[in-house]
Amino acid sequence: MDALVKNKFEFNNNVLNFSNKSFYYLESFSAMKIDALNKYDAIILDARDVEFARIILKKFRSSSNVEFYLKPIFLINAKANEDPLLKELIDGIIVSFDQIPETINDINQISIKIAQLESSTSNSFEVQLFKKVLNFMFTRETNTFTPYPDILSSIGYCYPTISVNFETFEEAKVLELLEWAEKENLIWPDFLDRVYLCSNCKNGHLSYREICPNCDSANMRSEDLVHHFPCGYIGAISDFKNNVDTVLNCPKCTKNLRHIGVDYDKPSIINHCQNCNEVFQDYLVKAKCAHCKTDTDVQFLLSKNINVYKLTKKGRTAAVGGISASDFSLSNEVFGTVNLKTFATMMHYEQERIKNNPALNANVVIIYIENIFDLYRKIGKSKERELLAEFVNIVRDNITPADFICINNPSVLSVCINDTPLQNAQIMVMKITDKLEELVYNNFDRFALNVFTQTVELSKEQSFDKQLHVLIKEIVEKG
Ligand SMILES: [Zn+2]
Ligand SMILES: [Zn+2]
Ligand SMILES: [Zn+2]
C-alpha cells in the first residue's frame, strides 16, 4: 500500500471493516476480477491510473446486476480530471482513508433507496435499460440527464448514466433511447445543441470538405473575381497580378487598378478544380465519415438535437413504481407457446387436477435470462423473435408433449412439467439451461448467457398468480 494513503484505517488484503460496512480497496495492480466484489458494501477505487478507474467504473455501472451497477464507489487519489464518467458515476472522492467514516452516511442512504426499488422483469430492451438508469438516478437523488462534450463519444457528447451502458462508438443508440423515453413521457427535453451524424452509420466523426461539383475532388483553389469598371472586364484576380509588384493591372485595357469600390470591385469568388480543370462558382460541401467512410452531401446528414433532459413526474416515480410500457405480445407468435393469460388459466385447471388425486403432480419452472437484453443490444432486436423460437424449441425437446410453455416476456419463460417427480423435473431444467447457454455461446461470438431457474411443485393452496409473482420476484432479486 502506498505511503500516501497509509493511516489508522488499515486495509487488510484490500479489505476494511468499519461501522458494520465492508470496504474493498481496488488499485490498478489488483488482479481481482470484479465478479467477486459484490459482497462488499462499498468500493474504494484508486484513480491514480485514470484509464484503469474508468474501465472498472464502466464494468460496475454497465452491469445488468443491481448488486454491481448500484454499488457505492468512492474514488481516492483522484487528480482533477474532466472525464464525465468519472465525475457523474461515482459517489464521492476521498483524499485519504481517514475520510472513510464520512462515506457511511452515503452508503446507508443508497441502501435505503435500493430497498425501495421496484424489481420486475421487463418487456423490452428499452424498458430494461431505462429502468436500470432510473434506479441509479433514484438511489443517487438526481433527476437530470446532462450531456457532456466527449471526444471519446462517436457523436461528440455523452450522457454518462446512459452512455456507460453502450460502447463509445454506439453513442447514437443513447439518443435513440432518450427519444424513446421522451415518447413514453418519462423525460422532457431542453434544447442545448445540435449534432450532425453520418446517415449510414450514425457516427459524428465527420470531415467536411468543399468539393468540385464535377469530379468531387477537394483539390480546388478559390480566388476573387475582379470586375474592372472602365472597360467592363471580369476575371480571376490572378489575371490582374504580375511578378514584379503588388499593383493590379487590367489584362484587357492594361490600366492600373486603384481603389476597390471606385474603379473596380470583387463581386464574388471563383473556384478552379485542380483535378479536372472545371471552373465554377458554387462548390458542394460533403462530409466524409471517419467510421464507415461514406461521403455524404451535407444536406443528407442526420441532424439530432442534444437536449438536457429532466425526469417527468412519471419518470421520477418509475424507479419505485415500475415503467408500464405496452404489453409484450410475441407470445402469440412463437409456435408452441401460450400467452400468460392462457397459461394462468391452464395452471388453474392443473391445480384442480392435482388437488383431487395425490398420485398426480405438476411442477412450475421459471427460466430467467438475466442478460438477454445485453445480447439483443449486440445482435439487434430484429433477432429477438427468431432466438425466442430457438429457445422454445430447446425447452420443447427436453419436456414431454403434455407440458406447456409460456413466454412471459423476453427475459422470462414459464414452463409447466406434469406428472414428473420434482427431482426429475429439476434435472430436465438443468439440461435445458446448459443447452440454452451452449446455443448462444456457439452462435453469438461466445456470449455468456446468465440463465437462472426455479423449479418447484405447483402450490395446491396458493393461487397460481401469487405463486408465479413470488417466484419471479425471488429469482430477479437473487439474479
Ligand atoms: Zn480594364
Ligand atoms: Zn473537378
Ligand atoms: Zn458512417
Q: What kind and span of H or E run contains 75?
A: strand 73-76
E-strand stretches of 387-462: 404-409, 412-418, 451-457
Residue 102 shares a structural domain with residue 233: no
Q: Could you tell me the distance, in angstroms and rounded to a whole number, from the CA of residue 278 to the centre of ligand 3?
A: 29
pLDDT at 331: 46
Structural domain includes residue 141: no
Cβ–Cβ < 8 Å for 196, 257: no
Residue type, 281: Q
Q: Using alpha carbons, select from 316, 314, 330 the residue that is nearest to residue 183.
A: 314
pLDDT averaged over the chain? 89
pLDDT at 363: 95
Residue 330 — very low, low, confident or very high, per pLDDT cuts 50/70/90?
A: low
Helix (H, G, I), strand (E, B) or coil at 213: coil
- Point out the ligand nearest to the CA of residue 248: 1
Average pLDDT over residues 322-337: 66
Q: Could you tell me the distance, in angstroms and rounded to a whole number, from the CA of residue 175 to the centre of ligand 3?
A: 16
Q: Could you read off the pLDDT of 115-140 as tens digits, one per residue?
A: 999 887 777 788 889 999 999 999 99
Structural domain includes residue 175: no
Q: Could you tell me the distance, in angstroms and rounded to a whole number, from the CA of residue 302 to the centre of ligand 2?
A: 27
Domain endpoint, select from 280, 304, 322: 280
User: With 60 as the cut, is the pLDDT of residue 327 above it?
Assistant: no
Compute how many other C-beta atoms are within 10 angstroms of the C-beta atom of residue 337. 24
Please state, in angstroms and rounded to a whole number, the distance separating the CA atoms of residues 187 and 182. Answer: 5
pLDDT at 32: 64
- Point out the ligand nearest to the CA of residue 240: 1
Residue 237 shares a structural domain with residue 377: no
Please state, in angstroms and rounded to a whole number, the distance separating the CA atoms of residues 182 and 159. Answer: 15
Residue 264 shares a structural domain with residue 339: no
**pTM value?**
0.71
Residue 240 shares a structural domain with residue 338: no
Total domains present in the chain: 3
Residue 240 shares a structural domain with residue 347: no
Q: Could you tell me the distance, in angstroms and rounded to a whole number, from the CA of residue 287 to the centre of ligand 3?
A: 10
Q: Could you read off the pLDDT of 183-232 as tens digits, one per residue?
A: 888 999 999 999 999 999 999 999 999 999 999 999 999 999 999 999 99
The residues, ordered by sequence, that sit 6+ positions from 285 with a Cβ below 8 Å of its Cβ are 208, 209, 210, 211, 297, 298
Structural domain includes residue 337: yes
Residue 332 — very low, low, confident or very high, per pLDDT cuts 50/70/90?
A: low
Q: Could you tell me the distance, in angstroms and rounded to a whole number, from the CA of residue 355 to the centre of ligand 2?
A: 86
Q: Could you tell me the distance, in angstroms and rounded to a whole number, from the CA of residue 296 to the centre of ligand 3?
A: 9
Residue 336 shares a structural domain with residue 452: yes
Residue 340 shares a structural domain with residue 256: no
We report the CATH number of the domain holding residue 70 as: 3.40.50
> Of residues 147 and 461, which shows the higher confidence score?
147
Q: Using alpha carbons, select from 77, 76, 59 the residue that is nearest to residue 68.
A: 59
Residue 358 shares a structural domain with residue 473: yes
Please state, in angstroms and rounded to a whole number, the distance separating the CA atoms of residues 258 and 280. Answer: 27
Structural domain includes residue 430: yes
Residue 326 — very low, low, confident or very high, per pLDDT cuts 50/70/90?
A: low
Structural domain includes residue 234: yes
pLDDT at 167: 87
Q: Could you tell me the distance, in angstroms and rounded to a whole number, from the CA of residue 214 to the centre of ligand 2?
A: 5
Residue 139's φ and ψ, nearest 5 degrees, are: -75, -15
**Would strands 220-228 and 295-297 be described as parallel, antiparallel, or unpaired?**
unpaired
Domain endpoint, select from 257, 280, 303: 280
DSSP letter string over 195-239? EEE-TTT----EEEEEE-TTT--S-EEEEEEEEETTT--EEEGGG
Residue 268 shares a structural domain with residue 345: no
Q: Could you tell me the distance, in angstroms and rounded to a whole number, from the CA of residue 254 to the centre of ligand 1?
A: 6
> Of residues 103 and 244, which shows the higher confidence score?
103
**Dihedral, CA of residue 112, residue 147, residue 370 and residue 444, to nearest 10:** -160
Domain endpoint, select from 116, 139, 170: 116
* Half-sphere CA count of 137, side-chain side, radius 13 A: 26
Structural domain includes residue 238: yes
We report the CATH number of the domain holding residue 401 as: 3.30.70.270
pLDDT at 325: 59
Using a CB cutoff of 5 Å, list residues around ligand 3, an ion: 198, 200-201, 203, 289, 291-292, 294
Q: Could you tell me the distance, in angstroms and rounded to a whole number, from the CA of residue 212 to the centre of ligand 1?
A: 30
* Half-sphere CA count of 128, side-chain side, radius 13 A: 26
Q: Could you tell me the distance, in angstroms and rounded to a whole number, from the CA of residue 148 to the centre of ligand 3?
A: 22
User: With 60 as the cut, is the pLDDT of residue 150 above it?
Assistant: yes
Domain that holds residue 110: 3-116
pLDDT at 303: 93
The residues, ordered by sequence, that sit 6+ positions from 373 with a Cβ below 8 Å of its Cβ are 64, 122, 125, 128, 129, 410, 411
Residue 344 shares a structural domain with residue 413: yes
What is the percentage of the chain residues whose pLDDT exceeds 70?
A: 95
Residue 276 shares a structural domain with residue 335: no
Residue 245 shares a structural domain with residue 335: no
Least-confidence region, from 39-53, 124-138, 278-292, 321-335? 321-335
- Angle formed by the axes of helices 384-397 and 422-443, nearest 10°: 140
Structural domain includes residue 296: no
Q: Could you tell me the distance, in angstroms and rounded to a whole number, from the CA of residue 200 to the centre of ligand 3?
A: 5
**Dihedral, CA of residue 373, residue 377, residue 378 and residue 380, to nearest 10:** 110
User: With 50 as the cut, is the pLDDT of residue 5 above it?
Assistant: no
CA distances from 313 to 184, 317, 323, 470 (A): 12, 6, 12, 28
Q: Could you tell me the distance, in angstroms and rounded to a whole number, from the CA of residue 436 to the centre of ligand 2?
A: 58
What is the percentage of the chain residues whose pLDDT exceeds 90?
A: 64
pLDDT at 34: 80
DSSP letter string over 157-188? EE-HHHHTTS-GGGTHHHHHHHHHHHHTTSEE
- Point out the ligand nearest to the CA of residue 210: 2
Q: Could you read off the pLDDT of 274-306 as tens digits, one per residue?
A: 999 999 989 999 999 999 999 999 999 999 999
Residue 394's φ and ψ, nearest 5 degrees, are: -65, -45
C-alpha grid cell, residue 152:
471519446
Q: Could you tell me the distance, in angstroms and rounded to a whole number, from the CA of residue 292 to the centre of ligand 3?
A: 4
Compute how many other C-beta atoms are within 10 angstroms of the C-beta atom of residue 13. 7
User: With 60 as the cut, is the pLDDT of residue 1 above it?
Assistant: no
Q: Could you read off the pLDDT of 8-37 as tens digits, one per residue?
A: 688 888 899 998 999 999 988 776 678 888
Structural domain includes residue 301: no
> Of residues 479 and 475, which shows the higher confidence score?
475
